[in-house]
Every structure is written in structure tokens, then in C-alpha cells.
């Protein structure tokens, strides 16, 4: 009897998981870890053809380590983790990175406020607010990029801070050691936003594309930052 009950519970949970469909969002954040693509935040538009909407704090993943169909009519096996993300503020344009044993989320814009900068860690199916020793060197909410190295340092470069009438583009590399919880900063030749950031095996972070002073950056121009262990 107990065995049959367990089967029923399993089938119910499996059906519940398959029934979950994320809301349509843009400005969300994603990171890859343990064969899963984790996604959180973003802006839920008021309609499919609108950029206006409300901020989200949904948190879910897609396990690409298991086969699933992608043909018309197939339902992606999203797994909803939103019940464990209640500590998070609603947010968009956040920087999300994989630091090995933890996922690190640097909050970008929250409910329209750009002066945020809180850091959250996700580990063992639980979110925690990482209280840093010092404040972030700068509050650049929008479209910055982070990567995390093997020593647990998160590198956040670029971003677009837009107080009314005085937009500023970040030209700093802000570095957070998640073990000591200390921020530090170093300069960069130019500031950027809307770019990509990728950590290579040789220790370089490469930044491609994006915008600089409202101008599009040539995709053939590659900016590099060398990590020093």
C-alpha cells in the first residue's frame, strides 16, 4: 500500500513539474550549472508586444542532461523553484554566475530602482543574502556581465546607470571575493553595457559586442581581461 502511495505521489509531482510553464519575460538572467540552465527574474510584459510590465522573481531550471522533445506540441520539462526564491526581490537585468559550489546573483534593477546592488547566493536548494563587508564600488544595474573563477571571485564589468538626466556607463571591473565578502575595483579603458562576458580556460575574460556611449561596439573588437590568481 505504501509503495502504491509513493508511486501516486511521484506521478503527481512529475505531472506538476511538466505542467509548469514560465511566464513570458525579458531582461531575465540565466546561468548553466550541473547540466541545468537556471533562470530567474526579468520583466513580465503587460502584453506580448509591450516592453512595459512588472518585475519577476520566478526561479526555475531546464535539465538538459535528460532527453526531451522540442517538436511542435512538446512541452519542455521546466522545474519550478519559485517557492525557494521568496527571499529574492523582484528583479531584472541582474548578473548571474556559477561560482562552483554556489550560484551568485547580483541584483540589477528592482521594482524600477537602479540603486540596488544586493548579492544573493544559491546553494543546497536555498537562497541567502550575502552580506558583504563593504558596499559595491558602484551601482550599475543594467546589462553588466559577471563571471566567476575557480577561487570564488566574481568579476563584474560594465553596466549602465541611468539616473534622470545623467546616464553613466561603468568602466570599472568590480571584483567580489565570495569567501572574504570584500569588494574591490580596478579600472578599464572603456565602459560598456549589453555585451557578453566569457571566461576562457586560459584565464582570460573576453567581452564582445554591446554598447559604448550609445554606439554599438564592432563585433570584431574583443576586449580582454587577464585573471591573476
Q: Say if residue 38 is exposed, middle or buried (CB neighbours under 10 Å; 0-12, 13-18, 19+).
A: buried
Rounded distance, CA 94 to CA 57, Å?
Answer: 11
Q: What is the CATH number of the domain that holds 184?
A: 2.120.10.80
In a domain, 89, yes or no: yes
Q: 185 with 137: CB under 8 angstroms?
A: yes
Which residues span the domain enclosing 219?
Answer: 20-68+75-226
The dihedral of CA 141, 205, 28, 169: what is its sign?
A: positive
Task: Determine the pLDDT at residue 12.
Answer: 42
* Predicted confidence band of residue 8 (pLDDT cuts 50, 70, 90): very low
Task: Determine the pLDDT at residue 14.
Answer: 45
In a domain, 14, yes or no: no
* Predicted confidence band of residue 6 (pLDDT cuts 50, 70, 90): very low
pLDDT at 4 over 50: no
Q: What is the pLDDT of residues 196-206, one digit of tens each?
A: 788 888 888 88
In a domain, 8, yes or no: no
Mean pLDDT is highest, among 8-17, 29-38, 99-108, 191-200, for 29-38
Q: What is the pLDDT of residues 54-110, one digit of tens each?
A: 999 999 999 999 888 888 888 889 999 999 999 999 998 888 999 888 999 988 888
Q: What is the pLDDT of residues 103-159, one digit of tens each?
A: 999 888 887 554 556 889 999 889 999 999 988 776 655 566 788 888 889 888 877
Task: Determine the pLDDT at residue 9.
Answer: 42
Rg (CA), the chain: 19
In a domain, 128, yes or no: yes
Q: Say if residue 33 is exposed, middle or buried (CB neighbours under 10 Å; 0-12, 13-18, 19+).
A: middle
Name the nearest CA neighbour of 146 among 207, 216, 188.
Answer: 207
Task: Determine the pLDDT at residue 198.
Answer: 82
Weakest mean pLDDT among 5-14, 69-78, 111-120, 214-223? 5-14
Rounded distance, CA 182 to CA 174, Å?
Answer: 10
Q: 210 with 188: CB under 8 angstroms?
A: no
Task: Determine the pLDDT at residue 166.
Answer: 65
Contacts of 144 (CB under 8 A, 6+ apart): 95, 106, 108, 156, 157, 158, 159, 170, 193
Task: Determine the pLDDT at residue 205.
Answer: 84
- Which has more pLDDT, 208 or 46? 46
**Residue-wise over 190-221: b if at least 16 C-beta within 10 A, else e?**
ebbbbbebebeeeeebebbebbbeeeebeeee
Give me the half-sphere count of Cα atoms (radius 13 Å) on the Cβ side of residue 117.
17
- The predicted model gives 20-25 an average pLDDT of 91
In a domain, 146, yes or no: yes
* Predicted confidence band of residue 16 (pLDDT cuts 50, 70, 90): very low
Q: 31 with 103: CB under 8 angstroms?
A: yes
How do beta strands 153-157 and 160-161 pair? unpaired
The dihedral of CA 198, 201, 203, 204: what is its sign?
A: negative
Rounded distance, CA 19 to CA 115, Å?
Answer: 36
Q: 59 with 88: CB under 8 angstroms?
A: yes
Question: How many structural domains are present in the chain?
Answer: 1
Amino acid at each position: 500500500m505504501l509503495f502504491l502511495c509513493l508511486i501516486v505521489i511521484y506521478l503527481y509531482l512529475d505531472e506538476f513539474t511538466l505542467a509548469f510553464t514560465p511566464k513570458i519575460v525579458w531582461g531575465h538572467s540565466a546561468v548553466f550549472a550541473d547540466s541545468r540552465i537556471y533562470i530567474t527574474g526579468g520583466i513580465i510584459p503587460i502584453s506580448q508586444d509591450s516592453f512595459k510590465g512588472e518585475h519577476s522573481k520566478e526561479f526555475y531550471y531546464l535539465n538538459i542532461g535528460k532527453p526531451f522533445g522540442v517538436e511542435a506540441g512538446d512541452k519542455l520539462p521546466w522545474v519550478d523553484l519559485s517557492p525557494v526564491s521568496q527571499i529574492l526581490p523582484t528583479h531584472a537585468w541582474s548578473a548571474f554566475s556559477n561560482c562552483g559550489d554556489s550560484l551568485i546573483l547580483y541584483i540589477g534593477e528592482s521594482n524600477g530602482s537602479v540603486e540596488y546592488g544586493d548579492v544573493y547566493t544559491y546553494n543546497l536548494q536555498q537562497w541567502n543574502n550575502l552580506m558583504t563587508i563593504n558596499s559595491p564600488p558602484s551601482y550599475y544595474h543594467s546589462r553588466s556581465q559577471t563571471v566567476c573563477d575557480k577561487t570564488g571571485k566574481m568579476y563584474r564589468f560594465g553596466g549602465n546607470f541611468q539616473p534622470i538626466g545623467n546616464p553613466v556607463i561603468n568602466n570599472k571591473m568590480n571584483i567580489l571575493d565570495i569567501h572574504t565578502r570584500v569588494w574591490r575595483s580596478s579600472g578599464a579603458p572603456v565602459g560598456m553595457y549589453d555585451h557578453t562576458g566569457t571566461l576562457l580556460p586560459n584565464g582570460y575574460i573576453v567581452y564582445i559586442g554591446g554598447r559604448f556611449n550609445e554606439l554599438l561596439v564592432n563585433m570584431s573588437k574583443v576586449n580582454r581581461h587577464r585573471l591573476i590568481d
